[in-house]
Structure 1
Amino acid sequence: MESPSKAKTIEKYLGSNYKVVASIGHIRDLPKSQMGVDIEHDYTPKYINIRGKGDIIKGLKKEAKAANHVYLASDPDREGEAIAWHLSNILDLDMDAGENRVVFNEITKDAVKDAFKKPRKIDMNLVDAQQARRVLDRLVGYSISPILWKKVKPGLSAGRVQTIALGLVIDREHEIQAFQPEEYWTLDTQFKKNRSKFKADFWGLAGKKMDLPDNEAVQDIIKRLDQNGDFEIVKVEAKERRRNPQPPFTTSTMQQAANNQLNFRARKTMMAAQQLYEGINLGGKEGSVGLITYMRTDSTRISSIAKNDAAHFIHSEYGEEYAASKPVQGKPQEGAQDAHEAVRPTSVYRTPASVKDKLTNDQFKLYQLIWSRFVASQMTPEVLDTMAVTIEQNDVQFRANGSKTKFQGFTKAYPSAREKDNKLPELAVGDVVTMEQLSPDQHFTQPPARYTEAALVKALEENGVGRPSTYAATIETIQKRAYVKRDAKKFVPTEIGELVQGTMDEFFPDITNVKFTARVENELDEVEEGDKIG
């Protein structure tokens, strides 16, 4: 068990026969003062006890000696499995003799008790994948640093995933600098039918869509129009459009939504998520309870129990017509492990309003986002009535588009996902309307936008670089090292960042190659699955 707050909650669930103690994260690692990897002997790592962990190790050994049986309940991922393996070595546990590893995806009484009924052996595939990544990162770091010190500035360092993140930011900046804006124009109009006014845009000429590249083209169109004359409705297309909800959150989509909707940085999101996962004291009989499932995941899968609970809740809270018979399923990202469920509330019945007074402001905002997204994912689509209207005079055509909500569907539980209505008056083919306003506007095409934190997380994921546990740390690292800075919430490379990346491109082209790094991630996943020897 890594965390004291988590340990406290679990001890309460297990009762007085169990003593739960925390390791407070890793207790062994590679030494900071040297490579710590024996390259001559199959890249064997040389682990040492982490400085400052002496008292914790002493306490753990004492408790283990006094216990009849030792269970290792660190997080259910590579890092957690490695922590369990290191603990079993420090505590001299016989890994072959017994099953002492317990894992759970949520910290609730049922999940914890169920996990202790089904202990297993430490999964060495997971441990090997973590060790392979750790050794690889150390080899890369220790190979790169001396070159950076010599070529750029003493004290600099770089890593595998951070280098790709920095490269993405720099490549985008170069695209922006090389961008050549192109002129284009729009003709925005306002029409009137009886007392109702509505907006429309220039569409084309004589039934063909047409761009307006310059003012000359605009004036040619304006000359064709009698702005005080009648305009006719020549086409009305009414359709019903259905908007499906999105699947529940993965780590990546949670970080992106929290950044876009709550203005949370990735680190802040993960900190609040960790607190919600490890347990919140709800008082009374419930005491401390984990409010969400494990927050490091690249899966959108949810358990059948969670699905059934959501269906019952939606039926009773919103009505049968809001409950989806076949809820939306997300497409797994390439390389996704699907070992855990999506990030979801541990109980759909714990509505955000019911726990609000027990949460900090940040915890509440994130919990509300996770809860709403999960409930919405189990609901029916939003249904919109849409209308596309073509208005014509002298072969010049304008288009007006309108929409209004016919059925709220999933947006009943997730109001922030609702589309704004854009109502048009009742219009039919043959109706006559008048032009109230005609506004020619000059524009220039815009360069691609700099990366926000949400966009950078998405780009890393889409490129198959990094994993759920690394996104926040990667982005924080390139900022801490002053390789990038934030300008209006967007990343801009610094001069030193450009120099570091240039040196990396020259001396370590594999490390700056996105495909190479993605392939390494996939091979680590294969080690985890037991398909490859670490």
Structure 2
Amino acid sequence: MGKSLLIVESPTKARTLNRYLGRRFDVKASVGHVKDLPEKSLGVDIERNFEPQYQIVKGKAKILEELKKAAQKAEEVYLGPDPDREGEAIAWHIASEINGEKDTGKIKRVLFHELTKRAIEEALKNPGMLDKNKYEAQQARRILDRLVGYLVSPILWTKVKRGLSAGRVQSVALRLICERERQIQQFVPEEYWTMAVELRKKDAESGDETIVADLWQYKNKKIKIKNEKQAKTYKEQLEKATFVVDNVEKKERKRQSAAPFKTSTLQQEAARKLRFTARHTMSIAQRLYEGVALGDEGEVGLITYMRTDSTRLSQEAVNEARKYIGEKWGKQYIPPRPRVFKNRKGVQDAHEAIRPTSVYRTPDQVAPYLDKDQLALYELIWKRFVACQMAPAVFDQTTIKIKAGDFTLKVVGSVLKFEGFMKLYVEGTDNGAEKNGRKEDVWLPELPQGTELDLIKIESKQHFTQPPPRYSEATLVKELEEKGIGRPSTYATILSTIQEKEYVVRENMRFRPTELGFLINDLLVENFPNIFNVKFTAEMEESLDKVEEGKLNYLAVLKMFYDSFESSLEEAQEKMKDLRREGIPTEIICDQCGNKMNIKWGRNGPFLACSTYPKCQNTCDYIRNDKGMIVALKDEETQEKCEVCGKPLVVKRGRFGTFLACSGYPECKFTKSIDKDSGKANDKPVKTDQICEKCGGHFLIKKNRYGGAFLACENYPKCKNTRPIPTGIPCPEDGCDGELVERVSRNRRRFYGCSRYPKCKFVIWNKPVKRECPECGYPFLVEKYSKKEGNFLACPNAKCGFKLKEEDQQD
């Protein structure tokens, strides 16, 4: 009897499965998607019902051939990519390549919601068929995203600058961030005051417990103190008043634990407690799901599938958790009935919540096999799951109302009576969620109704209302989910993309839109009001869900979208502002000719330019103040002279910070970098023994405005010959006689490329070291760093895994 073939998408997942399945199955990995839309063209035939023109992904042809050969030999073929839309697309494309035009019935679909022996065997005993609805939902999303990305982005290249991108969902996320920033800029703070009154039992000893009550009502209406004058008036009246306990209310309050994690809440909590980005969280979770080597136990899947909208738990998992809780903390920590968590309306319930595959695999037990971040995330998942099946925390809450003439004061205190789930885990909160920074839980002394109180002191405090906070990763993910924008499985990519495109930056762990982000958002919202719209985007997500459920045809969704999109596209091509030529008008006056200035866009970012250009060529940098208003920056003159024309150098601000430039610009374009640490101009060029082949002068080592070093002729500007600095390491490409030289990319990142560029395009991003690999003979090693291993040397040959730790490095 021949073997069956099991194909998954990940080598790590394949290793874990192979450990359980042994000789019965031949387990192979596709290493991700095998087919996709082409990189450099639209790849969608709109006229032929949006027919996608899939191609084999670069580098996957060989893998596909191996899978085809293995499938021919196998008795049965099981496709086990992840149990979501992307996994279904991978399975569908593998099946189409293995089957060709035939439908042999040999192929079966298996869904692994967790990689444990029981779950794997259960999945293989109950295989299904490929899910056409799920595949078409993925295909519809892919086509929608491709239409927007490939048809809108080129308009931005033409009107603003190359390299920009628009995305069906990412641009709506950007819109939320920009709208929040404008709310902050337009916010007008309002003054208000609070009064805290410290009291004690009448005639009590000075050492007795006091209470601090808040001024709450005046003549039985909630009080709002608007200014200092009003605060002083109330304070004077209170100082003359008699304080008597009017009402005491005591009740027991229970606090239930949070639901187990789903994708969005895991991302939120990891951002709050661990400061992980959504992408980092999902990357670690993927590894924990696919399997981690636990010593002699081998590869083990530690958590269930991490892309889920559901908070449902299997009965087996709940029973195991309740058993563990009883053994660890006692019966009092187990609620009478297992806790069941309801999903939101419309949630796909195919998967469980994210939980450990076994509660008995505690964080302490797996700690020796996980790195720091893996352990932190696993511990978070483990604790949240166990806590969700623990008894509630119980508080004794007391509310005391105190009469003082026409005023009513109130103080609320609560004492923890039984810690319940809080013994193990307490959910994090977003910054600013606590009211006035006051602690909710305070102890209060026994004060029966009618008790008279002595005034100790009254403290008045001025406050100002605060604007809504900027979005953090946690609050933005929460907002996207609540508004139905995208799906939790896509949030990590969305947040990464808008940062990589420099539409937003993170400051103090919160998102702030850049000038470019504001610009792109305004252009897209103005020209595509129906497409980059929160409500429309949410409706599209609902439509995709209906496609997956088989309630809606995917072509109908595409046509509905394209009907609205096509007209907006044609209009935008014609009417979108051409910022390359026109710029954005401002009220800033040119200090050279008196005309208004426009915002224009250069390769180093936005700047102000005179609207009469080229008649007046005045330019300057600018910033926006807290209200979003433009403030022109005047060049700061220095004592240094230009090395070319002798005019003073001025401090300029570019995309990568400050640098020195000649005040004679544009006639003289001399620039000089500023040292980041000292804030001063970089040292004078260093003379070398290398001779310029054009004029015979010596080469100098200089630094460009980005801090990168290069060789330049000493006879500049008469001779403008320059060279990158060589490393002395030969280029490893076959037949190339070049050597590696240091360069700086457009994004200010240092890299090393062949001196024969563009004939040879070899590039490496890590610094090369002239030291042959002792294992494979590669001509050099590279410097690397990781949190786990620190600094080390590694072989850049992908087929060789040689590493040399810093402490082992000897000359």
TM-score, normalised relative to structure 1? 0.95
Deviation at 1:84, TM superposition (A): 0.5
Distance 1:314 1:175 in 2: 47
- 1:448-459 to 2 correspondences below 5 Å: 448-459=468-479
Contact 2:235 2:458 in 1 (8 A): no
Between Structure 1 and Structure 2, whose CA radius of gyration is higher?
2
Deviation at 1:110, TM superposition (A): 0.9
Higher helix share: 1
The alpha-carbon distance between structure 1 residues 95 and 187, as it changes in their structure 2 partners (threshold 3 A), is farther
For 1:531, give the aligned amino acid: K
Distance 2:549 2:484 in 1: 17
For 1:214, give the aligned amino acid: N
- 1:27-176 to 2 correspondences below 5 Å: 27-92=34-99, 94-95=102-103, 97-176=105-184
Contact 2:77 2:107 in 1 (8 A): no
Distance 2:393 2:428 in 1: 10
Moved more, 92-101 or 247-256: 92-101
Distance 2:212 2:367 in 1: 42
For 1:60, give the aligned amino acid: L
Distance 2:366 2:105 in 1: 44
Contact 1:246 1:330 in 2 (8 A): no
Deviation at 1:204, TM superposition (A): 2.1
Contact 2:400 2:411 in 1 (8 A): yes
Distance 2:103 2:472 in 1: 46
Contact 1:298 1:336 in 2 (8 A): yes
Please list the CA deviations of residues 56-102 of structure 1 after superposition, one character each: whole Å capped at 9, or x if unmatched.
Answer: 22332333333332211100011001100111122236545234111
Distance 1:493 1:417 in 2: 26
In the alignment, is residue 336 of structure 1 matched against residue 347 of structure 2? yes
For 1:244, give the aligned amino acid: Q
In the alignment, is residue 252 of structure 1 matched against residue 264 of structure 2? yes
Deviation at 1:349, TM superposition (A): 1.5
Contact 2:261 2:384 in 1 (8 A): yes
The alpha-carbon distance between structure 1 residues 140 and 335, as it changes in their structure 2 partners (threshold 3 A), is farther
For 1:126, give the aligned amino acid: K
- 1:48-447 to 2 correspondences below 5 Å: 48-92=55-99, 94-95=102-103, 97-193=105-201, 194=205, 195-226=208-239, 231-284=243-296, 286-415=297-426, 421-447=441-467
Contact 1:246 1:328 in 2 (8 A): no
For 1:6, give the aligned amino acid: K
Please list the CA deviations of residues 496-526 of structure 1 after superposition, one character each: whole Å capped at 9, or x if unmatched.
Answer: 1111111211222222111111111111111
Moved more, 435-444 or 447-456: 435-444
Distance 1:30 1:433 in 2: 77
Please list the CA deviations of residues 27-82 of structure 1 after superposition, one character each: whole Å capped at 9, or x if unmatched.
Answer: 11000111111111111101111112233223323333333322111000110011
For 2:511, give the aligned amino acid: F
Corresponding residue number in structure 1 for 2:10: 3
Deviation at 1:300, TM superposition (A): 0.6
Stretches of structure 1 lacking an aligned partner (at least 5 in a row): none
Please list the CA deviations of residues 188-230 of structure 1 after superposition, one character each: whole Å capped at 9, or x if unmatched.
Answer: 2323344213322111234432111111221121111337x86
**Alignment RMSD (CA, Å):** 1.9
For 1:365, give the aligned amino acid: A
SS in 1 for 2:224: coil
For 1:115, give the aligned amino acid: A
Distance 1:416 1:513 in 2: 32
Contact 2:249 2:400 in 1 (8 A): yes
For 2:470, give the aligned amino acid: R
Moved more, 425-434 or 119-128: 425-434
The alpha-carbon distance between structure 1 residues 71 and 35, as it changes in their structure 2 partners (threshold 3 A), is same
Q: Which has the higher contact order (CA 8 A, sep 6+)?
A: 1
Contact 2:76 2:106 in 1 (8 A): no
Stretches of structure 2 lacking an aligned partner (at least 5 in a row): 1-7, 430-438, 555-811
Distance 1:428 1:99 in 2: 76
Deviation at 1:233, TM superposition (A): 2.1
Distance 2:312 2:165 in 1: 38
Distance 2:275 2:307 in 1: 20
Distance 2:413 2:190 in 1: 29
Distance 1:238 1:156 in 2: 61
The alpha-carbon distance between structure 1 residues 401 and 95, as it changes in their structure 2 partners (threshold 3 A), is farther
TM-score, normalised relative to structure 2? 0.64
In the alignment, is residue 501 of structure 1 matched against residue 521 of structure 2? yes
For 1:150, give the aligned amino acid: T
